[in-house]
Amino acid sequence: MLVLTFTNLESNKSRMTTKQLLNKYYKKNKKRKAKKKNKNKLSQNKLFENAKRKYLKYLQSEDWAQIKIDLYQTRGKVCEYCGSTKNIQVHHLTYKNIYKEEPEDLVLLCKDCHRKEHGIK
């Protein structure tokens, strides 16, 4: 059996088997990883919340208002899926050009079609 010797702060020398040493190491490492994982989750949540705030602010901006006006003028205020003229909203087909959308990235939808597009009943 292999025995590793290491210096312990409480006593001058301690003798532990490899198995004991590895178990101690893995327990410490497991705790560190759990803390790091929780920290990463918080960071991701914070990033998501910041992005969401920025997007909602953009939807209230004059730039977005002008994009909607331009779409209404060129395509008419009509749902491009069902032809309804009630509760027309702008839907992003893709978010790859977010904040600098091209007209091809957007479609006009009524509220019902927009909800269906997002899988909301």
Residues 43-69 pLDDT 10s: 788 888 998 999 999 999 999 999 999
91 in a structural domain: yes
Residue 12: what pLDDT?
Answer: 41
24 in a structural domain: yes
49 in a structural domain: yes
65 in a structural domain: no
pTM: 0.61
pLDDT in tens, 85-106: 999 999 999 989 999 999 999 9
| Domain hosting residue 23, numbered range | 15-56
Tokens of 81: 């899926």
Looking at this protein, which amino acid is placed at residue 87? N
Interhelix angle 62-75/18-59, rounded to 10 degrees, is 60
Residue 106: what pLDDT?
Answer: 96
87 in a structural domain: yes
Instruction: Summarize the confidence of residues 104-109 as an average pLDDT.
Output: 96
39 in a structural domain: yes
Among all chains, which residue has been given the structure tokens 């994009």?
67
Domain boundary among 26, 56, 86: 56
| Domains contained in the chain, number | 2
